[in-house]
Amino acid sequence: MGRLENRVAIVTGGAQGIGEAICRRLADDGATVVVADINGEGSVAVATGLSGSAVAFQVDVGDADEVAALFAMVQEDFGHLDILVNNAAIVPFTPWEDVDFEEWRRIQRVNLDGVFLMSRGAYEAMKDQGKGRIINMCSNTVFAGTPNMAAYVAAKGGVLGLTRAMATEVGGYGITVNAVSPGLTASAGVLASPHQEAFGFVETLQALDGRGEPEDIAPTVAFLASDDARWITGQLINVDGGHIRH
Ligand code: NAD
Ligand code: 4PL
C-alpha cells in the first residue's frame, strides 16, 4: 500500500524534466496523477508510462479558461482533489538588457499568474474536504540572484510570498501550502539551454559533489504531499546539494 493511495494529484509541467520525475514518484507512491502540461503529446507520453492510473490534460496554466476546464474535468472524472504540484514554468536565459515589458509579462503570466490560477482552483476543490496539499516549485535563484533570469527570479519570489500568505489563509481548511527550491538541475529544459554550461561553476558552490537530477527533487515533493508532512506549512525547502544554506 503506497502512502499516496487513493489520492488524486495534479502536476503541472509534468510532460518533462522535474515535473515528469514528480509524476513518476507520486504514481509510484500510489497516487492517481493528472499530467497537466501545455505540451499535450508529451503529457500523454508521460501519463502512459506511469504506474497505476494516470491521465494527461493539455493546459496553459496562464489561461484562466483552460485552467477552469482542468478543474471541471478533475471534479467530473475523480470527484475530489488531494494534491496540486505547481511545477510548470518557463526557464528563460535572458540578459537584463533584453528583458523588455513583453518578456517580463511572458514570464509572469506563466510562472506567477499560472501558480495563482491553479492554486485558486485547487483551493475551491479542496476547501470542503478538510484536507489538501499544495506544493509550489520555487528556485534557489531567489537567494542567489542568478544572472540572465531577472523576470524568473522575480516570479519565484512572488511564488514564495504566495506560499506563505496562502498557507496562513487556508490552514483552517486543513490545506498545507509549501515550496520546494531546487538548485540548478539537469532537466530536459536546462540541458537544452545555456544554463547547462553552469553545472561546473554551481558544483563549486554546493556542499555536495555532483549534479542535481530531477529524481533528486521529486522525493521531497512526495514527502510534502504525504500525511507525514501534516504539521508543515508555509515553508520553503532547499533541495540543491547545499548550494544555498538558508
Ligand atoms: P522544463 O523546461 O524541463 O519543463 C517545464 C515543463 O513545463 C515543460 O513540460 C513545459 O511544456 C511546461 N510548461 C511551460 N509552460 C507551460 C504553461 N504555460 N502551461 C503548462 N505547462 C507549461 O523545466 P524544469 O527544469 O523541469 O523545471 C520545472 C520546475 O522546476 C520549474 O518551476 C522551474 O522553475 C523549477 N526549477 C528548475 C530548476 C532547474 O535547474 N532545472 C531549478 C530551480 C527550479
Ligand atoms: C542556480 O532555477 O536555480 C540556473 C535555471 N542556476 O533555473 C533555475 C540555478 C537555473 C538555478 C536555476
pLDDT digits (tens, 9 = 90+) for 159-201: 999 999 999 999 999 999 999 999 999 999 999 999 999 999 9
Q: Is the dihedral of CA 132, 138, 142, 148 positive or negative?
A: negative
Q: What would the pLDDT profile of 52-81 be if each residue is shown by its tens digit?
A: 899 999 999 999 999 999 999 999 999 999
User: Best mutation site among 20, 37, 236 for ligand 1, i.e. most ligand atoms within 8 A of its Cβ?
Assistant: 37
pTM for this structure?
Answer: 0.99
CA of 87 to the centre of ligand 1 (A): 6
Spatial separation of the C-alpha atoms in residues 83 and 177, rounded to whole Å: 10
Give the rounded distance of the alpha carbon of 74 from its chain centre. 18
Residue 210 Cα distances to 143, 144, 189, 217, angstroms: 20, 19, 19, 14
Q: Which pLDDT belongs to residue 171?
A: 98
Say whether pLDDT at 1 is over 80: no
Give one DSSP letter per residue of 5-23, joined into a string: TT-EEEEETTTSHHHHHHH
Helix axes 17-28, 214-225, angle to 10 degrees: 50
Q: Which residue has the cell 508510462?
A: 49
Give mean pLDDT, residues 232-242: 98
CA of 147 to the centre of ligand 2 (A): 9
Residue 61 φ/ψ region, left for φ over 0, alpha for ψ in the -120 to 50 degree band, beta for the rest? alpha
CB of 35 shorter than 6 A to ligand 1: no
CB of 184 shorter than 6 A to ligand 2: yes
Cell of 166: 496562502
What are the helix (H) ranges across 10-82?
17-28, 40-49, 64-77
Residue 195 φ/ψ region, left for φ over 0, alpha for ψ in the -120 to 50 degree band, beta for the rest? alpha
User: Best mutation site among 34, 106, 187 for ligand 1, i.e. most ligand atoms within 8 A of its Cβ?
Assistant: 187
Say whether pLDDT at 101 is over 80: yes
Give mean pLDDT, residues 211-217: 99
Cell of 83: 494534491
Q: Which residue has the cell 475551491?
A: 124
Atom 3 of ligand 2, residue of closest alpha carbon: 183
Atom 6 of ligand 2, residue of closest alpha carbon: 184
User: Phi and psi at residue 50, in whole multiples of 5°?
Assistant: -80, 150
Question: In terms of Cα–Cα distance, which of 191, 176, 245, 187 is closest to 218?
Answer: 187
Residue 246 — very low, low, confident or very high, per pLDDT cuts 50/70/90?
A: confident
The share of the chain scoring above pLDDT 70, in percent, equals 100
How many C-beta atoms lie closer than 10 Å to residue 47's C-beta? Answer: 22
Helix axes 150-170, 101-108, angle to 10 degrees: 40
CA of 164 to the centre of ligand 2 (A): 22
Residue 151 Cα distances to 20, 85, 214, angstroms: 24, 21, 23
